[in-house]
Structure 1
Amino acid sequence: MSKAPRAIRLDPATPDAADESFARGAGVTILPESEPADAVEPAALPVARRRFSWGSLFVAGLSGFLTLSIGVWAERMIVSLMNDNPVLGYAALACAALAGLALLVMLGRVLRDILRERKVEALRQRATMALAGGSAGEAKAISAELKGLYASRPETAKGRAALDDALPQLFAARDVLAVAERSLMTPLDLLAQAQIAQAARRVSLVTAVSPRALIDVVFVLVACARLLRAIAGIYAGRPGALGLLRLARQVLGHLVVTGGIAAGDAVIQQVVGQGLAARLSAKLGEGVLNGLLTARIGLAALAVCRPLPFIEALPPTLSDVAGDLTSWRGNAADA
C-alpha cells in the first residue's frame, strides 16, 4: 500500500535545531584528512646510510700492503742487478716500466668501462623519469646522448639518420623516446636476442652429451660469462674483468628482484612437469633446463645493459629466445 503524497513547508526563517547548532559551531570539530599510504613520495622516505664495513677496510689495507711490498721488492731487485751487472739492471728496469705502463692502460680501460656502464644506467634512469612526466627537451637530450653513444656503430647508421629526420617533428617526450627506441634499440635488441638463443642452444647441447657433472658446471659458468660480455658489448662496450664482475652482480640483483633465477613455472612445467626427462633421458632434461637458465640470465643481462626502458617494444621472453628448446617436448611426444 503506497502512502499518499503530502506537502512539506520549507521556511528559511525558522531553521531547525541542527542548522542552528551548526551555525553556532557547537560540537563541530574539523579534522585534517589523512593521506593514503600510496600518496607518500619515495623521496620523502629516509635514505639508509651506508654503514662502516670492516671487510672493505681489510681489503683496502691488504691491497695497499701488497702494493708497497711489490714496489719495495722490485726496487731492491733492480738496485741489486744494477750493482752486479748494469746491463741486467737496465733490462729489469725496462721490464718494470713496461709492466707499469701496461697496468696503467688496464686500469684506464677498467675505469672507462665502469664510467660507460654508469652512463648507460644514468640514461635509463633519466629516460624512465622523462616517460613519467618529462619534457620533450629532456627526451631529445637523452636521444642525442644515445646517438653519440652509438655513433661508431655501423648497424645503427640508418637508425641515427632516421632519428635526426624525425626529431624536429616530435613534441612529446614519449614520442621522442619511442622513436629513439625504434631507430637505435631495435637492431641491437635483435643482436642480443640472437646471442642469448645461441648460448642457450650451445649450453643445452653440451650439457646433454657431456659425461661429467663437473664439465657441465664449468661450461655453464664460462658460457654465462661469455654471454654477459657479449650483451654488454652490444649495448655499452665490451667490459674487462672487473666490469664483468660488476655486471654479474647487477644481473644477479635483477634476477632476485624479478623473481629469482628460476626459468618460470610455465616453462618448468613444460620441460620437467610433463615428463620430458622421463620420455627421453635424464641428461637431455638437464641440458634443456640448463639452456633455459642460461637464457634467463641473458634476458636479465639485456634488461640491465639496455640504455632505454622498453617503451613500444615488448620485452623478450623465454619463448622468444629459447622456444626451440621447449619444442623438444612435442617432438618427444610424437616419437
Structure 2
Amino acid sequence: MSTTSRPRAFRIPGADAPATAEGIAPTPAADTGIRIVEDPFEIVEAADGAPVPARRRRGAPWGTLLLSAAGGLVSLGIGLSLERMIADLFQAAPWLGGVALVLLALAALALLAIVLRELRGLWRERKIEHLRQAAAAAITGRDHSAAQGVVRDLSAFYADRMGLAAGRQRLEALADAILDVEDRIGLAERELLSPLDRQARNAIATAAKQVSGVTALSPRAIVDVAFVVYAAVRLLRRIAAIYGGRPGFLGFLRLARAALAHLTITGGMAVGESMVQQVLGLGIAARVSAKLGEGVLNGLMTARFGLAALAVCRPLPFVRETPPRLSDVASELLRPAVPEPT
C-alpha cells in the first residue's frame, strides 16, 4: 500500500559554496541542519533561503454580515408595512385594496425592469473589460487563436451597429488570413474602434469647452462645482454609450471608480512638453482674466477625466492607433478662450 506525501523543499547548507579545482564543492565544517517546508507554495522562498512570512488568516466578514442583516431587516419591515396597509385598505373599502394591489404590482414590475437593466449594463461592462484583458493577454503571449477569438467577439459585440457593418465584413473576409497577433488586433481596432475613438474625442472636447465657458461666465463658485460634476457624469455616460456600454446606476458607479483610479495612476505621467504647453496656455489665459484662467483649468481637468474614461470604456487597448492626448483637447479648448477686442 503506497502513500502519497506533500511536496517538500530541502536546502542543504554549503550548497552555494564555490567549487574547488576538482569541481567538487567543499564539505561544510558543521552541519547546521536541513530546512524542510511542507507547503508547496513556499518552496521557492525556502529554496532561496528567504524567510517565509506567516500567512494571515482572514477574519470573519463582519461588515458583510452586518449589511446583509440590516438589509434583510429593512426588507422585512417594508414588506410588513405594505401588507398591513393593504389589509387596512381592504377593510376600509375593497376597491381601495384593489387599487393598492395594482400599484404594488406596477411597482414590482418597475423594480424588476430596473434590476434587469442594471444586470444588463453590468454584463456589457464586464464583456468590454474581458475583451480588453483578452486582447492584452493575446498580444503578450503571441497567441494567434486567442487573437482570432478577440476579433470575433468584438465583431459580435458591435453586431447591432449599422455604421460598422462594412468594417465587420472586412474583418470576416480576413478571418482565416495569416496575420501577426498585433496586426490582427490592430486591424480590428482600425475597422471598428477608429470611428468610435473620433466620436469620443469630439465628446471630450465638447464637454471641456462647455465647462470652460460656463466656469468663465458663472458668478458663483457653487455653480462652477455643480456644472463640472454634471459635465463629468454626462461625459462618462456618453463615452460608455459610444463604446457600447449602457451602464445603469451601479454600472455607472463602477465605471466612475475605474476612471478615477485610472486618472490617479496616470496623473504623474502627464509631465512633459505637452504639459508645459498647457500650463503656458493657462498662464496666458490667466493674464487676460482670472475667471478665464479658471475656466481653462476646469476644462483641462474635465478633458483629463474624459481621457481616463475613454481608456476604461474602450474594449481594446491602443495597439496600432495613437491614443489621444491632453494636448489634442487643449488646442481646441484655447481657441475660443481669448475674447475678441472691442
**TM-score, normalised via structure 1 length:** 0.80
Alignment deviations for residues 203-238 of structure 1 (CA, whole Å, 9 cap, x no partner): 111111011000110011011000000001111322
Deviation at 1:90, TM superposition (A): 0.6
Kindly tell me: are residues 49 and 313 of structure 1, through their superposed partners in 2, closer, same or farther at Cα, counting changes over 3 Å?
Answer: farther
User: Are 1:183 and 2:191 matched, yes or no?
Assistant: yes
User: Are 1:22 and 2:30 matched, yes or no?
Assistant: no
- Structure 2 Cα separation of the partners of residues 321 and 292 of structure 1: 8
User: Are 1:226 and 2:225 matched, yes or no?
Assistant: no
**Bigger CA drift: 56-65 or 254-263?**
254-263
User: Are 1:119 and 2:127 matched, yes or no?
Assistant: yes
- 1:104 is matched with 112
- 2:14 is matched with none
- 1:276 is matched with 285
- 1:15 is matched with none
Kindly tell me: are residues 56 and 208 of structure 1, through their superposed partners in 2, closer, same or farther at Cα, counting changes over 3 Å?
Answer: farther
Q: Identify unmatched segments of 5+ residues in structure 2.
A: 1-19, 29-53
- Structure 2 Cα separation of the partners of residues 108 and 82 of structure 1: 32
- 1:266 is matched with 276
Native 8 Å contact 1:230 1:238 kept in 2? no
Q: How does 1:37-186 map to 2 (within 5 A)?
A: 54-186=62-194
Q: 1:302 aligns with which of 307, 310, 324?
A: 310
Q: Identify unmatched segments of 5+ residues in structure 1.
A: 1-20, 30-45
Deviation at 1:68, TM superposition (A): 1.7
Q: How does 1:314-329 map to 2 (within 5 A)?
A: 314-327=322-335
Kindly tell me: are residues 263 and 118 of structure 1, through their superposed partners in 2, closer, same or farther at Cα, counting changes over 3 Å?
Answer: farther
Partner of 2:75, secondary structure, is helix
- 2:252 is matched with 244
Question: Which amino acid is the alignment partner of residue 316 of structure 1?
Answer: P
Partner of 1:312, secondary structure, is coil
- Structure 2 Cα separation of the partners of residues 163 and 305 of structure 1: 22
Kindly tell me: are residues 147 and 47 of structure 1, through their superposed partners in 2, closer, same or farther at Cα, counting changes over 3 Å?
Answer: farther
**Structure with bigger gyration radius:** 1
- Structure 2 Cα separation of the partners of residues 232 and 77 of structure 1: 42
Native 8 Å contact 1:276 1:285 kept in 2? yes
Question: Which amino acid is the alignment partner of residue 134 of structure 1?
Answer: R
Deviation at 1:285, TM superposition (A): 0.6
Kindly tell me: are residues 260 and 216 of structure 1, through their superposed partners in 2, closer, same or farther at Cα, counting changes over 3 Å?
Answer: farther
- Structure 1 Cα separation of the partners of residues 70 and 109 of structure 2: 23
RMSD: 3.0
- Structure 2 Cα separation of the partners of residues 185 and 47 of structure 1: 45
Native 8 Å contact 1:197 1:295 kept in 2? yes
Native 8 Å contact 1:120 1:307 kept in 2? yes
Alignment deviations for residues 235-293 of structure 1 (CA, whole Å, 9 cap, x no partner): 13221122111110010111111126989742552234x3431x211111111111110
Kindly tell me: are residues 24 and 123 of structure 1, through their superposed partners in 2, closer, same or farther at Cα, counting changes over 3 Å?
Answer: closer
Kindly tell me: are residues 322 and 60 of structure 1, through their superposed partners in 2, closer, same or farther at Cα, counting changes over 3 Å?
Answer: farther
Of Structure 1 and Structure 2, the greater helix share is in 1
- Structure 1 Cα separation of the partners of residues 114 and 296 of structure 2: 38
Question: Which amino acid is the alignment partner of residue 176 of structure 2?
Answer: P
- Structure 2 Cα separation of the partners of residues 49 and 66 of structure 1: 32
Native 8 Å contact 1:270 1:326 kept in 2? no
Alignment deviations for residues 151-208 of structure 1 (CA, whole Å, 9 cap, x no partner): 0012211211111122222333222111111111101111111111110111111111
Deviation at 1:23, TM superposition (A): 3.6
Kindly tell me: are residues 189 and 51 of structure 1, through their superposed partners in 2, closer, same or farther at Cα, counting changes over 3 Å?
Answer: farther
- Structure 2 Cα separation of the partners of residues 286 and 247 of structure 1: 27
- 1:312 is matched with 320
State the percentage of identical aligned residues.
Answer: 48
- Structure 2 Cα separation of the partners of residues 314 and 28 of structure 1: 61
Native 8 Å contact 2:205 2:333 kept in 1? no
Native 8 Å contact 2:278 2:330 kept in 1? no
Question: Which amino acid is the alignment partner of residue 299 of structure 1?
Answer: L
Partner of 1:123, secondary structure, is helix
- Structure 1 Cα separation of the partners of residues 261 and 58 of structure 2: 18
Native 8 Å contact 2:245 2:313 kept in 1? no
- Structure 2 Cα separation of the partners of residues 152 and 109 of structure 1: 18
